[in-house]
Amino acid sequence: MDLQSYATRDALAEALALSVAGILAGGIAERGTATLVVSGGSTPKLFFKKLSQCDIDWKNVTVMLVDERIVPPDNDRANAKLIAEFLLQDNAAAAHFLPYVTDGCDAAECAEKSEQQLAPSLEHIDVTILGMGTDGHTASFFPGGNHLEEALDMQGSRQVLSMLAEGAGEPRLTLTMPVVQSSRFLALHIEGQEKADVLKRALGLKDPLQMPIACVVKKAPEPVKVFWAP
């Protein structure tokens, strides 16, 4: 992995926002559009705020989520609501947000309908920003998840799967490993010594399925950029 450490979380958020904005602008210059895939949680809020203020052609950017809880989009636990409140503001309000399907169907059907909805925009992913939990999960690749091995299979054909796991809370929807690894720029955003220790421990395990972030880092075709601040 390629560890990039910053003295403060503000400095990290600024550096990551500028890096992402530059890559998105490059995608727009090359193809006329760019795709950004981001994670939920509290960690990226400052990064989202700074990125939303970057001056790029946001109307040609599609924003998607790495994963989502199967809850209504206005639920406080929904990653879609977090994105609306913290990223799709200021200049980035012009971006096109493409959500998962989370209403009116069971987990498997939500995954199938979400895949149909997201698939056209997954062909060219410019940037994917992952987070990580203290249990070593990333995306909705949870230890013990009912579809974990299928989701991590680099030869798998599915782009979106549902995930049930003890540590996940609600049923989840997640992009699969081949989709995550297809991104032109793949980064892991973590903060605090505890998260640094978790990542180190994960990478030392003989069985990476115990902490799936290890699978993502070890299977990456190029070193995953890790943005970290205390």
Q: What digits encode the pLDDT tens for the residues 111-142?
A: 999 999 999 999 999 999 999 999 999 999 99
| pLDDT higher than threshold 80 for residue 182 | yes
Mean pLDDT of 105-116: 96
Q: What whole-number distance in Å separates Cα of residue 108 and Cα of residue 135? A: 25
What letter represents residue 96's amino acid? H
Q: What whole-number distance in Å separates Cα of residue 216 and Cα of residue 177? A: 7
Q: Name the one residue in this structure whose structure tokens are 């980035």.
A: 92
Q: How confident is the model at residue 46 (pLDDT cuts 50, 70, 90)?
A: very high
In contact, 175 and 37? CB cutoff 8 Å: yes
Closest C-alpha among 138, 80, 218 to residue 88: 80
**Token pair belonging to 120:** 């056209």
Mean pLDDT of 179-193: 98
Strands of the 172-175 sheet, one edge to the other: 67-69, 172-175, 160-163
| pLDDT higher than threshold 80 for residue 104 | no
pTM value > 0.85: yes
Domains parsed from the chain with CATH numbers: 2-197+217-229 (3.40.50.1360)
**Token pair belonging to 10:** 């503000």
Mean pLDDT of 6-27: 98
Q: What are phi and psi of 98, to 5 degrees?
A: -115, 105
Which ranges of 4-62 would DSSP assign to H, the alpha helix? Answer: 9-31, 45-52
For residue 155, how many C-alpha atoms fall within 13 Å in the half-sphere facing its CB? 0
CA angle, corner 52, sides to 114 and 94, nearest 5? Answer: 65
Closest C-alpha among 207, 161, 153 to residue 181: 153
Q: What whole-number distance in Å separates Cα of residue 124 and Cα of residue 156? A: 18
Strands of the 34-38 sheet, one edge to the other: 2-5, 225-229, 185-191, 127-130, 34-38, 61-65, 96-97
| pLDDT higher than threshold 80 for residue 57 | yes
